[in-house]
Every structure is written in structure tokens, then in C-alpha cells.
Amino acid sequence: MNGQRVVSDVLAETGMRILISFSLLALLILAVACGGEKKEGSWLEPAASSTTTMPPPATAPEVDTGATVLVTLGDGHLATQEATFPEGPVVLTVANAGKEVHSLHVEGPGVSKALDGTLLADASGSLEVVFQKGTYELYCPVADHRTKGETLTVTIPTP
Ligand SMILES: [Cu+2]
């Protein structure tokens, strides 16, 4: 009986050892799997940094070809820095010089674009528009401001 107990104890002990080694293995596998995930994450990091390097080339053409024209919105009027705009990409810098809330909408050949939201007094925003030859209307889409005179027709001349 004693011998059998010893054998069973030994068996139980080896069983425990097997269990322990299995759980250790499982931990190792988990550690490796986590390490693998971390490696994947580190692989994603260079991709993310490469997308963050994307904006500079995108803004570079703006500097090269895009002209910047100031558009001033007032209470009942809309004025531009220049009488004619160049063909191609133009960044409209829109400034609210009035006391009311204003915004800007540009309508013309290939363009129907508006500022995101409205501009409070003394606020400014920018809107990039790619102009083609033709006539464009710039107006304030807020309430009835367009009919109150916040509109301007701009012609893009044929070179
Ligand atoms: Cu307005």
C-alpha cells in the first residue's frame, strides 16, 4: 500500500511538473505572440510617419502654383484684394471685417465650394479653389446677406 502511495505521489508530482511546464510553455507562447504583435505595431509606425510626411509635399504645390487672394467680408459688402484672379489653384484668405457672422461661397465653372462653417467678427479662414477661365460669383451664404450686397463677380481672364 505504501509503495503504491509513493508511486501515485510520484505520478502526481510528475503530473504537476507537466502542468507547470505546460503553463510555462503557454506563457512563453503568449509572450512570443505579444512580442509579435508589438513587432507588427512597430512596423506600422514607419507607415504612420510616412503618412505624416505626406502633407509637406501636398502643401508644396500650393506654394509653387497657388496664389493667395484676400477676401474681405463686411456687413453688407464683399471685397477682394484683386479684381481678377489667376487661373489654377488659389487660396482665398477670408476675413470677416464686419460685426455680423459671415461666410463665403464660391460658385462658377467646376467650383461650388464654401467655407467650413461661419466666421465670427474679426475671424478669418481659408478656402482653396481651383479656378478655370470664366466667371465666378463669390457671396456670403449667411441668411439674406447675398441680397444685401455681399456678393462679387470675379472673372478669370483668358491668358
Ligand atoms: Cu454675410
- What confidence score (pLDDT) does residue 129 get? 96
How many angstroms separate the CA atoms of 102 and 118, rounded? 6
For the chain, what is the domain count? 2
Contact 89, 129 (CB under 8 A): yes
Measured on CA atoms in the order 33, 35, 38, 40, is the torsion positive or negative? Answer: negative
- What confidence score (pLDDT) does residue 41 get? 46
- What confidence score (pLDDT) does residue 65 get? 55
- From the CA of 69, how far away is ligand 1's center (Å)? 18
- From the CA of 20, how far away is ligand 1's center (Å)? 75
Last residue of a domain, one of 11, 36, 53: 53
- From the CA of 152, how far away is ligand 1's center (Å)? 12
How many angstroms separate the CA atoms of 64 and 67, rounded? 8
The number of residues making up the chain comes to 159
How many angstroms separate the CA atoms of 142 and 149, rounded? 12
Residues 25, 48, single domain; the answer is yes
Residues 82, 47, single domain; the answer is no
From 116, 112, 113, select the one nearest 124 (Cα to Cα).
116
- From the CA of 150, how far away is ligand 1's center (Å)? 6
- What confidence score (pLDDT) does residue 7 get? 58
Residues 69, 134, single domain; the answer is yes
Residues 79, 23, single domain; the answer is no
Tens place of pLDDT for every residue, the chain, 159 residues? 555 555 556 556 655 565 555 555 555 444 555 454 444 444 444 444 444 444 444 444 434 457 899 999 999 999 998 888 899 999 999 999 999 999 999 999 999 999 999 999 999 999 999 999 999 999 999 999 999 999 999 999 876
Residue 134 φ/ψ, nearest 5 degrees: 145, -165
Question: The pTM is what?
Answer: 0.59
Residues 21, 81, single domain; the answer is no
- What confidence score (pLDDT) does residue 21 get? 59
- What confidence score (pLDDT) does residue 71 get? 97
- What confidence score (pLDDT) does residue 83 get? 82
CA 137 from centroid of its chain's CA atoms: 28
**What residues pack around ion ligand 1 (CB closer than 5 A)?**
102, 140, 142, 145, 150
Amino acid at 32: V
CATH of the domain at 150: 2.60.40.420
- From the CA of 132, how far away is ligand 1's center (Å)? 25
- From the CA of 90, how far away is ligand 1's center (Å)? 21
